[in-house]
Structure formats: structure tokens, C-alpha cells
Structure 1
């Protein structure tokens, strides 16, 4: 089946303040901009108030806070009228739990292992913690269980509409009481309640129809309370007897006794690190992992989206967190087969997959590609000058006083995650693998502690997010290479562990333990343990790398990006061409993106920071001068009373990269500066807590955080702000202009290299965002619509003059908008070329040849030549060397951006005299 392929997508972030009707109103604008599909953030039912939609509670209901089914129908109609279709961000790995919103999770809490949905979630009912046998840990409490109970923050309540009882924590989290224990609540003081309670107490005799009988009894209780108000009053009196008196610990004894009999165990949130017995999304307690490998779970979760795919309501899916699934390939095969549309086309499928350095996407996955993090970083690295790496390392060491090798930082951060936030998952994994070991006399003496230590070292040294062994038991060569590297590194660093343990782990994790017909081991047990290991390495790497190491190693924060690597300082031109050629051959429809809801910095922030790489000496001078200006404290001052030099260095880079253009003029609006300062403080607080050096999310160090935020105020709005702005503006203006030129290059390449481009909401104009939630701020779509109308009118009148005018007034962002809409139109006119065209690198000649990135794309008789100019800082004064030129293929070529024509050998200075990019279309 040939898949549907979008021409280009536009990502929208749905929130309770931006729902289906708001998106419907944008349909004409998006069509005029030139995209083919709306790429929607999750819009199925999520926890109330969700600002992102990933905490889904029902896969088969449209989120009522976004407008429900009616709003979705209106949005779909508006999109169809505008000639647009949809791609949906779908969440198969986990569901939102906690609160009182997920009926499946609540049923599990009520009935434990007997729940019809107990198998839907990755729950270990046989925990090695005795107090959790047949219980589910619910780590929702802010304090110790007994303390919260005595304070009245856990209270029993009766719901007259459903005839059920539940303990409510903070009046927010519902913890259902198993109906078998209702008699303990109702008591025997009232004859009617005694009779009702006896019915519930007799439920075990109704096996295997206990749950059905319980629902019948609840319905009877609802009717009884409705008909006889005095029964409701008696129930409330019975509930009150169990609910104690606030501050009197002994008065809560009866409720505590009831709670201890339940299938859940409410606990302080910190206990999750050690005792959690359900798989989570990363370390987030209120996102519980789903067993999507089970047919019943898969069928339920995909019922609505499969219908929408088949009837053409949506054309494709972005699969969130594919690495969280036990069997990603099997999941994708089921999904691809399940949902062809009416024309027999397969859905467009891309996976959120972060590839390690040199790691290919699994070639046998039935997908169109990834969501494009690797391309985000390839584009960034193309703009970073590798010649400056040594200088940046030196200034970082001079400024901060230290420079640890990043690989050591990453390894220590992964161990930090395993020792704290994800310790319980490692314990569970070690226990499962120890059980396998004990089946074989040669490994039966391996203790769980020994295996845990060895696993910890292997995971800490794992070079990619995960491997992909499945129930076939046959690892790929890439998987073997990853395991070879991890095991070898673990052996070197943990010499106190018997090497035979690592040999056993290698054989288990590759499936070699059961490769023969007479292994004496359970094939299913071995492969399941190996696949559980794979589910663990991904979250540990994500938390250790993206959410810890990226906030500790601050040599050059532009490189600390999702899918990137801080040690890859610049990318050789040939490597960029090779990556594009590889994508054109194997994944021509893979998503190409420069900003997402998860990127650490906005696309134009990164492009601006990339300009710093061309100015290492000027940057060193500026950073040191600003540091002296803003940090007058003596060297022996209390370290908690001022930010450390590493955090300070990151903060200075962040300010340079994100400073709004309107603040770079001769005058600055005080309110705008204050808004910017608050945004910086929000991003800085997150960075400090993610780094986990001086403060954390669980234990905020208010003194240190306060000192760092005071530093921000001192810099931007406080007593040293005027001095700072005066000192910093000349340099920041210079970097901003160079960054804008980099953004031109980035925009043009994104829309012309192999792949399907996505535009993140609002990024058709300049986007100097920081990490979320800053990158999810409301977008001024009315302003963009007005600007687009003006741009289209100007371009229709005289394209060359319009581009020249926009380049001269680059600060307003119209240049980026003009390039975006012009190239989206070009993609529409040459759909086959951009969807499936070949890729051929073209080499410039001359002294500045490495600053020219050029390539040709062909499909049939259609072809384009794209050329961009790298490293604008080198050309600030002298421009291109006179001998640097690009030899165009035979024929006459018209620039789709300016309308100028070229042919033969073209000097780089002439080629890029308007802007640092041309997109040439062959005439005739």
C-alpha cells in the first residue's frame, strides 16, 4: 500500500484556551501559508486542565475541554473546506492516572488483580515489598501517610449517584474502596444498612461474577438512597464515624484499618523512587505505562483513531514515545495493517524516536520516518563553526573553573537517575533477571544485588536510547554493537564484579541464552526480561541526558538539544550531504523539523547562538566582562547566595540567544523587559532543578534559586541593568543580525532538503523561545495572518524588491515569513520532486568553498538547485572571496525567492547578494 504523504504540516498545541473552534478559525490562514495538513497535538480526552494532552484518560473520546465531538466536527469541516487534512499526535505508551478521571485506573484501584483492566497496565502485583503484595502503590501524598491522615487530608466519602465509597486525598485524588469492604463502613447500627452491608460482604460467594454482582448492589443502593432520604443520612453518619477528628491521630484508626485492606497503598510521592510497582512514563507518577502489546489493549486504544484513518478524517499519526513500548516493531506492524483508508492507502506514520550518534532508524519498521530531531541537529551543526571548539572549551574552563569530559558527566547523571528517581524499576528488572539466572546451575549463584550492580553499569554505559530485540529472539547487528559497547565499558569500570555476570547479561540481552533448542530456560522469560531491559534504558537515558546532563554541561548550550550531542561542535559539509542523501534513499518522507514542543530552545534562538561559534574571542571578552559586572561578590562568599559560575555562564548564553529583537533598539519598553526577565527566570528555575546540583524539583533550595533569580533581576531590571544593557547591546545586536542570516539558511534548507517539513506554531516568524512551557505560549495568529496577506501582495508585485526590503528590515520577521510561504508554494508546484526527488551534492570552489552548501534535487525532468551561505560572521566586512563560485548544471535557472536568473559559473558574492540562499528552478 502506498502511504499518504503530507506536503508540509503545521503543528498546533491544543489547550483549554485553544480548542477545536480556535483551530477551525485558522484553517484559511494555514491554507494560504501553504501547508497541506494540520499536525495536531493530542486531542483525545485527557486529565482536566491538561495543557499538553499527553495525560490521556480515554483514547476513544474527544477532549471535552477542547470542544468535544461537536467542536472536532466543526474543525474538521473547516479544514476540509480549506483543502487541509490532519495528522494526529497519538499516545499509545501511557495514560494519565491520579485524580478521579481515568475509569480504567480507578477500576484497578477498586478491584486490584481482579479488575478487568489490571492487565492493561504494567503492574507488578508480586512485588518483593511485602506491604505491596496484591497492592498498587499510589504515591500521591505530599507528606507521610500517617501525617496526612491525621491532618484530615484523606477522607472517606459516599457518592449517592453511583452507590460507591472512596477515600479522597486533598479532595482531588479518588481512591475507591473495594465493595467487599462496604459492610465495614455501613456497620450494624442501622438495620437497613446492616442488611445492605451484608450483601456487599457476601460478594466473594458470587465468584466469578463478583464485579457484576457488586455493580448490581451499588445500583440497588443508589435507588434505596433516592427513595429513602433517611438511608442517605444514615450512610453519612456511618462515614463520619470512620472519618476522625483533625489533629487526633487515634480518631483515624478505623479509617486506617479500612485503608489497609484495599488494593492500593497511598504513600508520599518520594516513595515512588524505591517502591513504585507500575511502569511509568519516565519518572512521572501520574502517567502509567500501558501494555500495548496485548491485543485487547491495542484494539481498545485504537478504535477511534482507526476509524478516523479509515474514513479519511485523519491521514496519519505521530507515535509518541515509541521507545516506551515493549515491542515497537510489532506495534507498528499492527497499526499499519489495521488502518488503510478508503482508497487503500496506508496511513502516514512517523515515530518520536531519538537517534544516537551514528544510529540508524530500524530499517524494518513500517513507518515513514522519525519526527525529525536528528535533522534539527544536523541543521544546527551545519551552522556551527567547528574551528572554534577549542576556543569555546577554553573560555568555558576559564569562566567556570572546570571542564569535565561530557561522557563522564552523562554517565554520572544516568547513575544519579538510577539511584534515585528510577531505582525501583532497576530493582524490579534485577529481580526478574535473577529469577532467570536461578534456572541454570551455572548462574544460579548470581544474587539480585550482584545483577543489579552489573545492570546499573551496563545501562550507564549504553550508547543509545535502547535496543530492539523482540520475541523472535534475533538481535540486529546494531543491537549487538550497542550491547557489545555497553558490556565492554561496564567490565572496564566495574572490575570488582565477576566478569561472568556480564557474560550472562550479554547472552540474556541478545537472546543468545535461548538461541539453541535445549537451553533449559524459558524462552519467554528470557526474552521478556531482555525486552524489559530495553524499556528501562530509554527513560534512564532521556532523564540522564536531556533532563540532567544537558543542564550541567554548559560549554555551548545551543548543542544541548533533544537528539543532539554537546560534543558534536559543528558538522562537516560532506556529513550533512551524506545525511540528506541517506534520507532521500531510505526515508524520503521522514519529518523535518526545527522546533517542537519538546525542543530546549526555539529554532531562531539556536540559529542566533550558532553565530556565537564564529565569534569565540568576542564572546569570551563579553562573557568575562559581563560576569565581572554582575558578580561583584568576593570569592569567599556563601555559594548559596550567588549562582555558581556554570549556571551563570549558561544564563548569559540564554539571554543572548533569546533576547527579543524589540529590546535590542536604542530604547526599551519597561514592561517588555520585565516580561522577558520573567521568562528567563522561569526557564532558569527549570534548568537549575533539572541539573540537580544545587536544587531539585522534589527539594527546592529556595536560597540558591532566589540568589540566581536575583542575578537575573540585577542583570535585566535591577541596579546593574543599565550598565549591563549598555555593555551588552553592541555585541547582542551583532549576534542577532548574524543569527537572522543563519535563520534564513535554516528555513530554506528545512523546506528543500529530503523529508516532509513541519512548521511549529508561530515559527513562520522569528521564534526566540526557551524550554517548555515558554515554547507553548499563545501565538498572535491575527498578526501573522495580516503579515501574510501583506507579504503575498508584495511578492506578487515584485518578488526581488520585496525580498530586498524584508532583508533590510529583517527585525520584523517578514523575511522568514516570505521565504516560508514562497517555498511552501514551490513544494506544491513541484510535489513529486520534493516528495521523492534524488539528492546530489554540488561543490563550490575557491577559498570560501566550505561556506557554500549546495545540492541538486531531481525527479523525472523536474529539478531544482539549492545553495546557501554558511558562516555569516566570516563575511561581515569582506564578503566572499572573489574566486569562490558555484558551477550550476547546464541551463538557465530562476531563483524562486527573488526571481533573478543565473547560469554557468556564478560567483558566490553575486549568488548571495540579496540573502544567503537561492532556490533555483530550471527554466523551460
Structure 2
């Protein structure tokens, strides 16, 4: 008899824990009493299935059928679930359907494919193109060309070993001489640099250590989701976070299958929405993981006029060359060209081959006689012009690959007749050419390549090349237009409440380049751009060599955001910064001289005596920074959606890009502080009054009148709770303060959740409302 499926539960708030061998299930269980006291309803766990030994993140899954032993195994997870439930908490887990670790000695399914080739029952698991590279899967692990690595290759029984790597040998090939033995395998170890242009398997972005999984195959879906579904069915786990659905061949079909298999459990997807892009309405999910909310929250505390001044100062100080980050849109376009022809060259080549094959075999003569180079050029020109991550089967591909984009793409061709390749490719993408199954592979690969391109060119390249305001260079953000007006914010919240009331919201995650508190500090620079440039002019000395202006600007802002001249942390973040930017050095083409000069500058400048000028400026701006920190936290916790609190962020949490943001945290924290008190008050209110914040609730802006009305943002949830925060507080102080500014409250009596003795009615003077803190969370007093 099949056990009765537990009912779907919508969290009131989740708390993200980064599980590692040093912080396993048992350690998480130890934190449960404290986390329950905060007021969250669920723990949000990073991936729990078996991963590469020692992995600090868990996204490199090697076995979907087992819970990770290093974390405590399945019994450890079940024990954590029991402990959590004993304190009224449930579990949400992160799942990784798109890829597995390219580690044969740990990944049994991959081991069998390498041993048996396309005949292996596991061959359908992985997205491998067996028709190229002589029918061998390229494995880019060698430290140099094969001829230079022969001495490190050795046969050990039926295993081929290369340093720490192990590969199975095809049966009967063990005794062959090494050259013949290598040719006889279903795989070929190659120099790691060949991954960029020769790879014949789909991967996660450009990370060759993660191989794509074909969950579009029902048997593969069943095998890779069985354990997760069992944990859901047996009530160990309540909900799911789906990692990177854009990498899948058909996210629409996958999410429909997942929804059916889970019985409609609360599920959010890591879908990065571009500005103005809606989540596909047909997706049977609660919503996104919340990066769209992050941009809205950050934008509220960014001064648009001040950003323009800051941008002008950036151009003067950093002198970005026109081909190296002068304008945001141009920066993104240049980065996209670079990524397509370097990191994603293999993916682009496979896509172009698919297009050429379709055209050559098509019964539609209009598709014939298209030169492969022309099709590839057309693909590249269309891909770099996409304004979103990818098209979907359920959506209108013509709104993604637009007529305007096609018209621009044709300009890349000298001969008009050859420019017709653009129309051919666009028709293939839209499905008007080769609409049947024969064109489905192309459409899926185009979408997958588009999403990888967007992530690599924007998140991992352009965000490090265009740096007037580092707080704006965050996933889902728009560094060219970082400010969000109150009207825009209210409109966003109204849409979310109407369409996706159970969506996730975040302000800090394991992937954010800077924590919310660091970004909140940086946003204050848009309120004092001249003071910032004046301090930099004073801090910059001729005897401190600067490798380049953009690096220096980013380094000084990194110090300002962190507020601490920790050379190791700042240095590591800046090293990642310059390698991701790829202007003077990169991960694969490192320039030691430049990197050494950058490290010397960090030590002598931001982390040397001049750095004290920047930290002194930060100290002098403590009040407006605190207003932003508390304001962002409260807005996040009370706006429509289900807030996810990243570990440690209930208190002050200053972190830079990973791995800095994944450092272990202490439970409970040593210093409670105002932020923790505010967070606890908001989470407990959500827990006590789920009707006020859930699907049946409402959201409405509140009216503020008076000379400083623009500096107070306020809204009510269901007429029972009121959020009010201060925005642009430095500008507010310069303009003379609140004076007679008033907030119109809904009828009734209202108490301050942090100080219940304080009551307000109808027209509250904002100066009194914010007498204790620059924010307020009010609850209606029952009649």
C-alpha cells in the first residue's frame, strides 16, 4: 500500500544553511532550537545528495540515490528532520537536475559510460555527442599535451590512472600498448585547454568538471529523482529549490513532471529574470528563488541622480577605455562576443553543426546552400543580442529573438544574400523551419547555449568590467540603471502578490557577490558621490603603483563595503574580480606580473595606510549605512513572497564573493544587535499571522505627506501590519530632516513590534515613528 502523501505546506520563511563536512546534519540539528526561536518555518538546506568527497557546496552530485555520507548519511538527514519537526520546523532541500560531477571514480553512472560507451544503459543519462571526436568522449584532465603527460599515465589492472584521476578500461584492452590502448577506449584524456573548443559533452556553463544530465528522458528523471521523491513522500522533506533550470533541454516539461511527481509540493526555481521579464506563467512552481526581489530592494536605497554623478566620477578616475567597460550595454555585448568565441566555443560549434545538418537535409529548398560559417555567424550575432536568458517552449520565441535583433545581426554580413542565414537561423529558433522533432534538438541547444552565454557574459564577465557601483553588479541586477523608485517597487510587489504570492525572496545567498549589508553600505555612495571621489583623490598616491584604474576603483569600493582592511579577504576577492573580468588576466590565461602588481596595490593601498581614509569615510556614514541595512532587511522580510534568510544574516553580515560568503557562522551569534531584533520581530509576526502575509493577503502602499515624503517608503500587509523604512537618509539629513512629514496609517491603533509600549494612530509623525530606529514594523491592536 502506498503511504498517503503529506499535504503541501507553504513556508512562512526559510533559513538557508550551507552544509559541509565541517557543518553536517548533526551541526544543523544543534542549531535548530536557536533557528526556531527566530521565527522561520523551514530550514533551507544546500544539496544533500552524495557529492565529490570534500565538496564545500554539494552541487557536484555523484550519486542521486544516496544521501551524502560526509554530512551524516540518510539517517543523519532523517534525524535532523525529526529534530526540526520537534521544534515546529520543516525542511526544504536544494536539488541539482542539470548536471553531475565529471568525476568517474566517484560517479558510478559516468564510470559505466566510459567503460561501455554508447551501449551502456547509463549512456542516455549524459548529453554526449558521440558523432564527433572519433566517437570518443573527451575528458579534459591532462596538464599539458598528451605527449608531455605520457609518463604520468599508467595502467593498473583494468583501470587507467593519471595522478588522482582514474578511468575504466574497455574490456580486453588492458594489455595493449599505450597508444593503441588510448585509441581503443570510449573516451580520450586530453589537455584541459582543449575543453574550450573541442569538448563533446554539455556542461554547466563553461565548467568542464560538471557534465550535463538529460533529465528530459523519463527514465533518467525517475532514476535521478527517486531518493528526493522518497524523502518528500515520507515527510522527511517538505519542499524544493531547483538549481539552474535554464540549463535543461525543456524546463517547461521538466517542471510539469516534477510537479506531478511531488504532488504539487512548494517548489521555487533559480530562474534569473531580466528587467521586465515575467516568469513563464505556465510553470507549476511557487515562483523564483528571489533574485528579482533582490534588485527591487537594493534599488530602493540607491539615489538615481547620485549614481549619475558617481558614474561620471568613475569615468574620470578609472578612465575605462571604450572597448573596456565605458557603457553597460556595450560592455555586455563585448563580453558576449568574447565568451562565445572562447569559453563557449565548443557549445557554439555544436549548435552550428546542428543547424548546418538541418539545413542540408531539409526538404525546404530555402534552407539549402547555407555556408556553415554563415550559419555560425548568424547564430553568434543573434545570441549576443538576446536580452533574457533563453526562450521557452511555452513562450513566444519571437519576443526573445526579435525582428530588431535579426535586423542588427544582418549588418554583420557584407553580401546581402549571405545575410539570409540570419533569417534561416531565426526560423529554426522559432520553429517555423523544421517545426517537428528534427528541429527540437536545435531549439533546445540554442536555448541552453543562450542561458550559459547570458550567465557567463553578464554575471561572470560584464559585472567585473563595469564597476561604477559594485552593489549594482548582482545577479538579476541592472548596473546601467540600478535605482528603483518607490512607484516601481510598489508595482512590482502588487504583481508578485497577484501572480506569485508564494515566490521566494532573497537579499543574500551563497552566490551573491556581496552580502546585503555590504551592498547597503555601497549604496550610500550614491548619496555622496563627490565626497567619495574626493577621498579617493586623497587616498591615491603616486608612490602606490596602480595596475589599472578600474581595478583601483573596485578595490577601494570593496574596502568601503567591507569596512575592514583584511588583506586576505580583500585580496582574494580582487583576484577573482580581475580573473573574471578577463581584461589583463584570467583563470585560464593568467598573467603573473599583473596579478602580482594587483596584490601589491591592494596591500599598499586599500589595506595600507591610505585605506584608513576610506574606512574613516565609512565610519562617518554609519547612520545612513545602518538605515539602509535595516531598511533592506525589513522590506525583504515583509514584502510579498516567502523570505529566505541566509545563514548569519539575521545579524550584521559583511561578506564578499564566494568562498568568503560561505564561511561558517556561529549559532547563536554573539552580538544580537538591532538587525537581529528586527529580523526576529518580523519573522515571528509572519509566523503568528500567516494570513497577513500569505496568498490570501493583500499589499497596499501607504501615503506619506510632507516635505520629506520621498524619503519614507511604507506599505501595509492585509491592513494588519505596516512596514515603514527610511530611504536616502543622507540626502534627508542634508535637506533638513523629517520636519512635519506624516504617514497615513489605516484606521485603528498600532503598536511598534520592537517596543509595544509605543502606539500610533491614523496620521503618525514620521519623526516620532523613527525616533528609535530608522525603520518601523507596526501591528494593528485587536479591537
Q: TM-score range by the shorter chain?
A: over 0.9
1:144 to 2:145 alignment = yes
CA distance in 2, matches of 1:21, 1:318: 22
* Kept after mapping to 2: 8 A contact 1:462/1:485: no
* Kept after mapping to 1: 8 A contact 2:749/2:781: yes
Aligned partner of 1:177 among 166, 169, 173: 169
CA distance in 2, matches of 1:642, 1:180: 60
1:392 to 2:310 alignment = yes
CA distance in 2, matches of 1:91, 1:451: 33
* Kept after mapping to 2: 8 A contact 1:468/1:479: no
1:484 to 2:403 alignment = yes
Residue of structure 1 in register with 2:444 after alignment: 531
Residue of structure 2 in register with 1:472 after alignment: none
Residue of structure 1 in register with 2:653 after alignment: 767
1:413 to 2:413 alignment = no
Q: How many pairs does the alignment contain?
A: 768
CA distance in 2, matches of 1:886, 1:855: 10
Pair 1:746–1:496, CA change in 2 (3 A): farther
Aligned partner of 1:466 among 380, 387, 390: 390
- Shift, 1:913, TM fit: 1.7
Aligned partner of 1:632 among 536, 543, 559: 543
Aligned partner of 1:831 among 681, 690, 697: 690
- Shift, 1:99, TM fit: 5.1
Aligned partner of 1:295 among 218, 240, 254: 218
Residue of structure 1 in register with 2:124 after alignment: 119
1:651 to 2:559 alignment = no
1:755 to 2:756 alignment = no
Residue of structure 2 in register with 1:246 after alignment: none
Aligned partner of 1:697 among 573, 587, 594: 587
Question: In proportion to residue count, which structure has more helix?
Answer: 1
CA distance in 2, matches of 1:177, 1:625: 64
Structure 1, unpaired ranges of 5+: 159-164, 186-253, 341-345, 470-474, 516-522, 634-640, 661-672, 789-813
Residue of structure 1 in register with 2:3 after alignment: none
- Shift, 1:879, TM fit: 5.0
- Shift, 1:702, TM fit: 1.1
Moved more, 732-741 or 834-843: 732-741
Per-residue CA shift, 1:408-454, capped at 9, x if unaligned? 11111111111011101101101101111121321211121110011
Per-residue CA shift, 1:480-515, capped at 9, x if unaligned? 354334323323455556332121222211112256
* Kept after mapping to 2: 8 A contact 1:612/1:735: no
Residue of structure 2 in register with 1:507 after alignment: 427
- Shift, 1:53, TM fit: 0.3
Secondary structure of 1:79's aligned partner:
helix
1:713 to 2:603 alignment = yes
CA distance in 2, matches of 1:545, 1:57: 29
Residue of structure 1 in register with 2:159 after alignment: 166
- Shift, 1:19, TM fit: 0.7
CA distance in 2, matches of 1:63, 1:496: 58
CA distance in 1, matches of 2:413, 2:770: 56
Residue of structure 2 in register with 1:153 after alignment: 152
Residue of structure 2 in register with 1:572 after alignment: 485
Residue of structure 2 in register with 1:914 after alignment: 772
- Shift, 1:552, TM fit: 0.6
Secondary structure of 1:413's aligned partner:
helix
Per-residue CA shift, 1:799-820, capped at 9, x if unaligned? xxxxxxxxxxxxxxx1000001
Pair 1:481–1:100, CA change in 2 (3 A): closer
Secondary structure of 2:644's aligned partner:
strand
Q: RMSD of the TM alignment (CA)? A: 1.7
* Kept after mapping to 1: 8 A contact 2:301/2:523: yes
* Kept after mapping to 1: 8 A contact 2:397/2:429: no
- Shift, 1:67, TM fit: 1.4
Aligned partner of 2:33 among 28, 35, 47: 28
Secondary structure of 2:365's aligned partner:
coil
Residue of structure 2 in register with 1:682 after alignment: 572
Whose RCO is larger (CA < 8 A, sep 6+)?
Answer: 2
CA distance in 2, matches of 1:500, 1:2: 54
Per-residue CA shift, 1:646-674, capped at 9, x if unaligned? 111010000000124xxxxxxxxxxxx5x
Residue of structure 1 in register with 2:708 after alignment: 848
Pair 1:760–1:495, CA change in 2 (3 A): farther
CA distance in 2, matches of 1:734, 1:595: 25
Per-residue CA shift, 1:658-711, capped at 9, x if unaligned? 124xxxxxxxxxxxx5xx110011111111110111111112111111111111
* Kept after mapping to 1: 8 A contact 2:78/2:236: no
Pair 1:698–1:514, CA change in 2 (3 A): closer
Per-residue CA shift, 1:358-409, capped at 9, x if unaligned? 0000001000000000111110001000111321121011101236121111
CA distance in 1, matches of 2:726, 2:414: 51
* Kept after mapping to 1: 8 A contact 2:382/2:401: no
* Kept after mapping to 1: 8 A contact 2:748/2:781: yes
Secondary structure of 1:180's aligned partner:
coil
- Shift, 1:906, TM fit: 1.9
Equivalences for residues 296-375 of structure 1 within 5 A:
296-340=219-263, 346-375=264-293
CA distance in 1, matches of 2:402, 2:215: 25
Secondary structure of 2:715's aligned partner:
strand
CA distance in 1, matches of 2:614, 2:492: 38
Aligned partner of 1:444 among 365, 368, 383: 368
Per-residue CA shift, 1:568-622, capped at 9, x if unaligned? 1311110000000000001111111110010010110000001111011111111
TM-score normalised over the length of structure 2: 0.95
CA distance in 2, matches of 1:841, 1:2: 34
CA distance in 2, matches of 1:484, 1:307: 47
* Kept after mapping to 1: 8 A contact 2:397/2:430: no
Per-residue CA shift, 1:132-187, capped at 9, x if unaligned? 222100001111111101xx2111112xxxxxx111111x11121100324x35xx
- Shift, 1:715, TM fit: 2.5
Moved more, 872-881 or 613-622: 872-881
Residue of structure 2 in register with 1:804 after alignment: none
* Kept after mapping to 2: 8 A contact 1:467/1:534: yes
Secondary structure of 2:135's aligned partner:
coil
Moved more, 836-845 or 356-365: 836-845
1:430 to 2:337 alignment = no
TM-score normalised over the length of structure 1: 0.81
Pair 1:878–1:898, CA change in 2 (3 A): farther
Residue of structure 1 in register with 2:632 after alignment: 746
Residue of structure 2 in register with 1:107 after alignment: 112
Moved more, 890-899 or 422-431: 890-899
Pair 1:702–1:736, CA change in 2 (3 A): farther
Per-residue CA shift, 1:238-284, capped at 9, x if unaligned? xxxxxxxxxxxxxxxx2122111111111011101111000000111
Secondary structure of 1:175's aligned partner:
strand
1:6 to 2:11 alignment = yes
* Kept after mapping to 1: 8 A contact 2:49/2:65: yes
Secondary structure of 1:431's aligned partner:
helix
Secondary structure of 1:781's aligned partner:
coil
Residue of structure 1 in register with 2:677 after alignment: 818
CA distance in 1, matches of 2:738, 2:680: 32
Secondary structure of 1:464's aligned partner:
coil
* Kept after mapping to 2: 8 A contact 1:46/1:63: yes
Structure 2, unpaired ranges of 5+: 1-5
- Shift, 1:880, TM fit: 2.8
- Shift, 1:736, TM fit: 3.7
Residue of structure 1 in register with 2:454 after alignment: 541
Secondary structure of 1:16's aligned partner:
coil
* Kept after mapping to 2: 8 A contact 1:558/1:609: yes
* Kept after mapping to 2: 8 A contact 1:113/1:134: no
1:857 to 2:689 alignment = no
Residue of structure 1 in register with 2:194 after alignment: 271
CA distance in 2, matches of 1:488, 1:733: 52
Equivalences for residues 595-674 of structure 1 within 5 A:
595-627=508-540, 629=541, 631-632=542-543, 642-660=546-564
